[in-house]
């Protein structure tokens, strides 16, 4: 297990399209382990592989509601409603913004054993699904179409 360096906004890896995982090798399970360590160390609620310089469709999410989720090749298969809530990103430290996201999202993904799983989340978990899957397509929450407005960091109490 190891801590990985989190790439910051401006790093071209954050703007690249990540490739699907075709076989879950030890390299992928080690990546998951290291991403979990890195997520815990950074005290975040989600991390996508391109944030640690790996262009593969691998995500880890941890919220109170969901516990720890490992998502390989995740896809949003259903979404409904809308929420305007605060969001941050480990690759954009110290900043927060209000984003427009679906209120409820269902994701389908492989786990590390190659089993297809489905997860449905609302609120923070729905935002995390959208945010992390966006990373796999080179998108950030500060992009037009997602961001509603940046927040003054002084006023943010998250
Ligand atoms: Ni992020």
**Mean pLDDT computed over 34-44:** 97
Residue 22 lies in a domain: yes
Residue 67 lies in a domain: yes
pLDDT for residue 155: 61
Q: Is the pLDDT of residue 131 over 90?
A: yes
Q: How many domains does the chain have?
A: 1
Q: Residues 54-100: pLDDT tens digits?
A: 999 999 999 999 999 999 999 999 999 999 999 999 999 999 999 99
The b/e string for 103-138 (b: 16+ C-beta within 10 A; e otherwise) is bbbbbebbeeeeeeeebebeebbbbbbbbbbbbbeb
Residue 100: per-residue pLDDT:
98
Q: Does 5 map to a domain? A: no
Q: Ligand 1 centroid to 26 CA: how many Å?
A: 25
Q: Are 133 and 59 a contacting pair, CB within 8 Å?
A: yes
Contacts of residue 25, defined as CB under 8 A and 6 or more positions apart, other chains included, come to none
CA angle 42–7–31, rounded 5-degree value = 70
CATH number, domain with residue 114 = 3.90.45.10
Question: What is the domain extent for residue 52?
Answer: 12-157
Distance, CA of 108 to CA of 17 (rounded, Å): 19
Mean pLDDT across the chain: 96
Whether pLDDT at 27 is above 60? yes
CA of 91 to the centre of ligand 1 (A): 6
**Distance of alpha carbon 79 from the chain centroid:** 16
132 classed as catalytic: yes
> Considering the entire predicted model, what is its pTM?
0.95
The DSSP result for 73-137, as a single string, is: EEEEEEEES-EEEEEEETTEEEEEEEEEE-SEEEEEEE-TTS-EEEEEEEHHHHHHHHHHHHHHT
Q: 44: CA distance to ligand 1 center in Å?
A: 9
Going from the Cα of 58 to the center of ligand 1, the distance in angstroms, rounded, reads 13
Inform me whether the pLDDT recorded for 152 exceeds 90.
no
Which residue among the candidates 132, 149, 154, 156 is catalytic per the annotation? 132
Q: Is residue 2 part of a domain?
A: no
Q: pLDDT band for position 153 (50/70/90)?
A: confident
Q: Residue 157 — pLDDT band, cuts 50, 70, 90? A: low
Span 36-64, average pLDDT:
98
| pLDDT classification of 156: cutoffs 50, 70, 90 | low
**110-124: average pLDDT:** 98
Angle at 79 between CA 77 and CA 82, to 5 degrees: 160
């Amino acid at each position: 297990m190891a801590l990985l360096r989190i790439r910051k906004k401006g790093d071209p890896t954050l703007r690249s399209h990540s490739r699907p995982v075709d076989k879950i090798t030890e390299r992928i399970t080690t990546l998951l382990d290291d991403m979990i360590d890195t997520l815990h160390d950074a005290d975040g609620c989600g991390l996508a592989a391109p944030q640690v310089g790996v262009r593969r469709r691998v995500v880890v999410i941890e919220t109170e509601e969901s516990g720890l989720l490992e998502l390989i090749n995740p896809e949003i298969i259903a979404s409904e409603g809308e929420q305007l809530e605060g969001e941050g990103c480990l690759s954009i430290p110290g900043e927060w913004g209000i984003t427009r996201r679906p209120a409820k999202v269902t994701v389908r993904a492989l786990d590390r054993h190659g089993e297809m799983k489905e997860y449905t989340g609302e609120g923070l978990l729905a935002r995390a699904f959208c945010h992390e899957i966006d990373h796999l397509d080179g998108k950030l929450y500060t992009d037009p179409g997602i961001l509603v407005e940046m927040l003054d960091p002084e006023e943010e109490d998250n």
